[in-house]
Amino acid sequence: MNSDGYRIERDSMGTLQVPQDALYGAQTQRAVENFPVSGRPMPPPFIRALGLIKAACARVNCELTDLAPNVADAITAAAEEVARNQHDRHFPVDIFQTGSGTSSNMNANEVIAHLANQRTAETIHPNDHVNMGQSSNDVIPTAIHVSAALEVHDQLLPALRRLADSIDARSEELAEVTTTGRTHLMDAMPVTLGQELSGWSRQIRAGVARVESALPRLHALAIGGTAVGTGINAHPQFGERVCALLSEATGVPFVPAANRFEALSSQDTAVELSGQLRTVAVSMMKIANDLRWMNSGPLAGLGEIALPALQPGSSIMPGKVNPVIPESVAMVSAQVMGNDTTISIGGQSGNFQLNVMLPVIAANLLDSIQLLTNAATILGRDAIDGFTVNEQNLRAALDRNPILVTALNSVIGYEKGAEIAKRAYQEGRPVIEVAREMTELSEEQLQRLLDPRLLARGGVASA
């Protein structure tokens, strides 16, 4: 130790100073100095995955008699602390680092070795012991899959299902509330709010199914491929056994990749999952924008619903309240779409036996999962669950909607219907009033044919 709060560490390139209290060593410090790019370290779920992987690898190496039990136990205990995110501050390597993620892998190896050395009299080496049977080239792709799978299983899918359940509950509650349908943002035939919301629910549940469809490929892990996919320096059973232990530890059915050359050289599964997340984001933006339109006003907009008032909406206009939750969700959706572009570009950067944009793929994929999880939560809790309906405004708009005349097409013909609609619109009168004057239909026929509640369910067959 020296008086400046640093200690001297050595690696294959020589010596350098490392902060005295750092759990990492020389290779991590070199990465810190080489990549002062964003100030953003790899996300906690990724660090958790590294800890889980290193613990499983140590246990398998012990089972295969390549590590002494006391060494394996010390590494496993240290790695499990990392998996519990107890040491995240000791993972300072920037996202924008070496494309293989070698710096993050060595960061994990060094931290775990440091912690393990505190538990045993043996000397535990970051490469020789913690990284035994592994390469950054299979560990980092494995960590991408493990971290994304856990976040999808534990966070995203439950949040999306809760959102769909919230929408379904409101859809059932509003099943008899009729509103003006809109196509091209122009008045169209009536629908019920229940029907409108059922479309939103279907979007979210279809999104759940889309994400689930990618999971079998996400569960397939590169571990055991080591440097180039051949498995050099790893026991033939190593990858399969590590997958089994990871499954036991997490409850997620991880399996060895069917082809480790593909698993190291490509990130097609991350690209696939990101595309499904982008589709969920598109659905959520559609819902958010519908809510904003329906809430617009309260006087000069549609004013069909009132979203919960959560905060003042203006620093200059007293009493103004804005649709802050849908706006937040729309921004999340835009970010996820941007992340998907980055991941897609990253996925194209697989040169021969290795993809070289692994850290940025991991960071953006996990960012999208977390953002969508949180956005789904607040959209359901703070917007869907609490909005109120202004049925008076709905009724007034329905009564004045000239497009209701569509229901008379089969009786009076399209041309006559167009005349009635134009006159009703020009005179600002309900269609039924104008139709009384311009057709021979009885009051009973008109009431039945133009009943918005019946029209929202497909109308009536004939006059």
150 sits in which H/E element: helix 136-151
184 is catalytic: yes
Q: Which of 3, 12, 184, 315 is catalytic?
A: 184
Active site residue 314: yes
Task: Name residue, tokens 């960061």.
Answer: 107
Helical pair 268-295 and 193-218, crossing angle rounded to 10 deg? 170
Task: Write a three-state SS string for 297-334.
Answer: CCCCCCCCEECCCCCCCCCCCCCCCCCHHHHHHHHHHH
Nearest partner of 87 among 145, 155, 22, judged by Cα = 22
What is the rounded distance in angstroms from the CA atom of residue 106 to the CA atom of residue 116? 15
Tokens of 165: 């359940």
3-class SS at 33?
Answer: helix
Residues 73, 114: contact at Cβ < 8 Å? no
Helix (H, G, I), strand (E, B) or coil at 93: coil
Q: How far is CA 236 from the centre of its chain?
A: 36
Nearest to 101, CA basis, from 56, 137, 50, 55:
137
| Active-site entry in 314, 328, 410, 442 | 314
How big is the CA angle at 363 (ends 360 and 364), to the nearest 5 degrees? 85
Cα separations (Å) of 380 from 166, 170, 320, 376, 387?
6, 10, 23, 6, 10
User: Which residues are part of the catalytic machinery?
Assistant: 184, 314
